[in-house]
Structure 1
Amino acid sequence: MARRLGKINLKNTALFLCDMQEKFRGNIVYYPQIISVANRMLQGAKVLEMPVVVTEQYPKGLGPTVSEIDVSQEKVFPKTSFSMFVPTVVDHMKTLPDVKSVVLCGIENHVCIQNTVLDLLEENFDVHIIADACSSRSMTDRMFAFQRMSEAGAYITTSECMMLGLCGVQLIQNLDQYKN
């Protein structure tokens, strides 16, 4: 049996942004940082031409994605379940047959992120959770969710580690221009 390493490959990776909505602003631990890092991940995904999946939990009641994260060029999937892997997202993923890995940012870590992770793992995706772009209302819920998802087989990482991993050889080749 092959060992899973969680090695990331730009050619088969998508970014998922989960429920980064206005109504959560006053309740989520580290909310400004989570929004900032998720936006940085989205900007990186755009530059790297990665597929992006955005969900909004019950947008009629919880509002749209926050203005700091410009998803106007992305397809946004409304949902009323805890997982992002709703039928419309499942159908959309079928149009991206090369995607084998998902990078996940969003809220809430112990509910929507965790349920999405479990659904994606069940469908044999490699799942990489950006720890500095995921949070909950409670630090206890946040931390135990990371532990639970890791034990289930997801990879917990940071935004910088992920972006450097995705850029890989391209970044190193671009550094050649700075040689003396």
Structure 2
Amino acid sequence: MARQLTKLGFLDVKKTLFLLCDLQEMFRPGMKMFDPVVKNASKLVQAGKMLDIPLIVTEHYPEKLGHIVKELDISHAKGVYPKTLFSMMIPEVQAKMNDLFGAELETVVLFGLESHICLEQTAMDLLKTGLTVHVAADCSLSRTQEDRKLALERLQQIGCFVTTSENVIFKLMRDKKHPAFDKVPHLVREPSVDSGLSKL
């Protein structure tokens, strides 16, 4: 029954992982929607911390491309891993996922960049293991809106839930009586920043 609910898009706080992919400083100049996406990603990361959702972060070739942007507080991340593989599913990340969840992990919330490269290949690797994947579209981007649009369409076609940061946050809480609810409203009081999704 639990797996059936997961396949419908439910999120279980005890069986969900956040994966933040390569939202690094050196990518900022080449992506016009970078700043809005960072603001939305910050909301999602903060909410994840409040809801005690484990976070794993990758940085693509950080020697040349720098580190995760300073606007994102990832101090609670369970690991920050350098990579050259486009997919986040490097051995170190897979080992950390196993350490954190064993066989209990059901759902991954994936966000970052680029949608048509690293996110898509990560999603494919996750889906083939039987995990459910939610892609936070307002926290994800590509250098061009065309690549982003087509990637989000492909991600949906291959079985991902293409969603938004607020949708994820409220699905995780499910009830105003959630212990963290009183901490979260300041994050969602203002609508998420327009990241250009309505124009895709």
Q: 2:18 aligns with which of 15, 18, 21?
A: 15
CA contact (8 A) 1:22 1:63 kept: yes
Q: What residue number does 2:58 align with? A: 55
| CA displacement at 1:81 relative to structure 2 | 0.8
What percent identity do the matched residue pairs reach?
A: 37
**Aligned to 2:9, what secondary structure does the other structure show?**
coil
Count residues in correspondence: 174
Q: What residue number does 1:78 align with? A: 82
Q: What residue number does 2:188 align with? A: none
**Partners in 1 of 2:64 and 2:178 — Cα distance?**
47
**Partners in 2 of 1:122 and 1:151 — Cα distance?**
14
CA contact (8 A) 2:46 2:73 kept: no
Query: Closer, same or farther in 2 for the Cα pair 1:154/1:173, shift >3 Å?
Result: closer
TM-score (norm 2): 0.83
| CA displacement at 1:99 relative to structure 2 | 1.7
**Partners in 2 of 1:16 and 1:160 — Cα distance?**
16
Q: What residue number does 2:128 align with? A: 122
Q: 2:152 aligns with which of 137, 140, 146?
A: 146
Contiguous gaps of at least 5 residues in structure 1: none
CA contact (8 A) 1:29 1:135 kept: no
**Partners in 2 of 1:173 and 1:121 — Cα distance?**
29
Report whether the alignment pairs 1:41 with 2:47. Answer: no
CA contact (8 A) 1:107 1:136 kept: yes
Query: Closer, same or farther in 2 for the Cα pair 1:25/1:173, shift >3 Å?
Result: closer
Letter of the structure 1 residue corresponding to residue 44 of structure 2: M
**Aligned to 2:130, what secondary structure does the other structure show?**
coil
Q: What residue number does 2:117 align with? A: 111
**Partners in 2 of 1:108 and 1:29 — Cα distance?**
13
CA contact (8 A) 2:55 2:76 kept: no
> Could you report, residue by residue, the CA deviation over 1:109-129 in whole angstroms, capped at 9, with x for unpaired residues?
000000000000011110000
CA RMSD in angstroms comes to 1.7
Q: What residue number does 1:99 align with? A: 105
Q: What residue number does 1:136 align with? A: 142
**Aligned to 2:166, what secondary structure does the other structure show?**
helix
**Partners in 1 of 2:158 and 2:32 — Cα distance?**
24
**Aligned to 2:29, what secondary structure does the other structure show?**
coil
**Partners in 1 of 2:173 and 2:12 — Cα distance?**
9
**Partners in 2 of 1:41 and 1:124 — Cα distance?**
24
